[in-house]
Structure 1
Amino acid sequence: MKPVELINRRSDDDVARELRADAREGLTAEPKRLPPKWFYDARGSELFERITELPEYYQTRAEYEILEAHALDMLELTGVDTLVELGSGSSYKTRLLLDAMRKNGTLHRFVPLDVSASALRGALETIAVDYPEATLYGIVGDFDTALAELPAEGVRMVALLGGTIGNMRSRQRVRFLRTVRDTLSSGEWLLLGTDLVKDPTRLRRAYDDSAGVTAEFNRNVLHVLNRDLGADFPVAEFEHIARWNGDRERIEIGLRSPRAMRVRLDGLDSTVELVAGEVIETEISAKFRRERVDSELAESGFERVEWWTDSAGDFAVSLARAR
């Protein structure tokens, strides 16, 4: 078994500064907002893994079906020997790609990136045992900081799965994809998972499940502020909302204040006032049509080569080549 290298350029002080900056900016904005990356402390990562197993949350199963059917096709088409996964989490679906690389005889490197050091370390420890032939580099950080740390060896494929690209707004998506393109050499590859436009009732249920797990995941961002910034949000009182915006074809997620309140944040030496019914925006999840995916990939310097969907047509995985 080869040694595991874990690269973490974000010190605890860096993370604390980022949180203070995001909270100060977001909670003084109009409307108020908090970046979804702050969902993912250890508890939030565990909650998200539970979400992927919910009956209402079809995305993980649909994407798994696509990868199970086509992973070997992806590897035979590309010949890559280095897999980079953005937002790795538990690397559950990634194993289908690693298995295909092994079968193709090209499993040399696996480079997962994640904001959660604990989730990344746990995934790498298991993968190191199951794939001893692979060199493993784990990179802790968000997408903006971690891409600069990618090893340059081999022929690389960057995988952004799970519909994560939908958490970005349109111009942000294109800027991000251009950054990925600039990280790659011409002819290297991007594997992109996108959730597709469908019945709004099904979409809302996927983000507001009957067991309340998505609601707890959403409220976790307030637990993070209470713990790390000395805030006093009455977390349990906030209402989880998940609304479909048909004009922008996206789910919009937030936390609604049940009453007028003043929240103290000792870590910012400030207070935040909320009126009754005010919503703190926490996440969007854009849904896609094929033409939109093709257009944003082309604008970012990629050429889409393949497009696969699950049998129900709920989800798509695109294979694109850097021009």
Structure 2
Amino acid sequence: MSIQRIQPQQTSTEWLNALQSSGHNLCLDELLAYRQLRTVQLGRQNRLPARGRGGSSLSKLKGRGMEFDEVRHYQSGDDIRAIDWRVTARTGKTHTKLFREEKERPLFFFVDLGPSMQFGSQLLFKSVQAAHVCAALAWQAAYRGDRIGGLVFNQRRHVEAKPLGRDKGVLRFLHHVTELNNEVGPMPVAGTFASNLKRLRQVVKTGAQVYLLSDFHQLNESMISDLRALSQHNAVQAILLSDPLEHELPQVQATRVQAVDEDFTREFWLGDKRTNAIYKQQSSTWLDKRVQLLAQARISTTSIDASQPLSLQWQELQR
């Protein structure tokens, strides 16, 4: 498949055509297209790509490295090559430079591809947009020298990918995302989100950058302790995927419609101002609650719209 180059500020149609995406199923080619954007600063760091096995993340260990940290009094055993002669001359006492060592930082994705994510009213399913976000961030991280891994799950099973470096780690991870997104399974199993969150705590090693990608419809107070434990030892960022229909009902001529979910049936007026206002208020309250629950776990939230090309939302990923 020939993929056209993704350009900033493309229209929705141009963007979909460039990726040759259906919007609901995934193919690996549309995720490979994000490799061309690996040098675009989507994330928070602004560093030159790492060389060899060196990474771009700073450890808390101090020693000889590439990043200057501070100056302190010379102590017996310190490397004389690190003496700061300017400070020594100014103060009359010998001072030495300390450096913060650089190391590889594993980048770990927690990707929810459950039933509520398999929805989209306009451009993309939320699950597909989540995969695009993963691809954009993963290719950039691999270019910096970080290792890529993740835990991906749908309504029936999950797959774990231990962090690997270079393109190999990205390709393996994106293959799992594509496979599980396109998998047709039985009715959802209760507690899938919670059980995978507990598993995440076990597989993520201290010091990782963790991205949680979900609509967080299954999030509740009982999960805060797991999230807080995760954020205590890792840099955790929640990326909340949503669709416009989850925020507000469409503005149409008043029509009586029927919603059916298995044995549950409800009738209501679509296009009724009062119904629209109630729906919008309840949706806003529910969104605020999810963000607040994540904040209680000391996790900040970035919102990504499934109805807009990701190329128009780079600034959201930079926050």
Give the TM-score normalised by structure 2: 0.39
User: Which of these two proteins has the greater Rg computed from alpha carbons?
Assistant: 2
Choose between structure 1 and 2 for higher RCO, CA contacts under 8 A separated by at least 6 residues: 1
Give the TM-score normalised by structure 1: 0.39
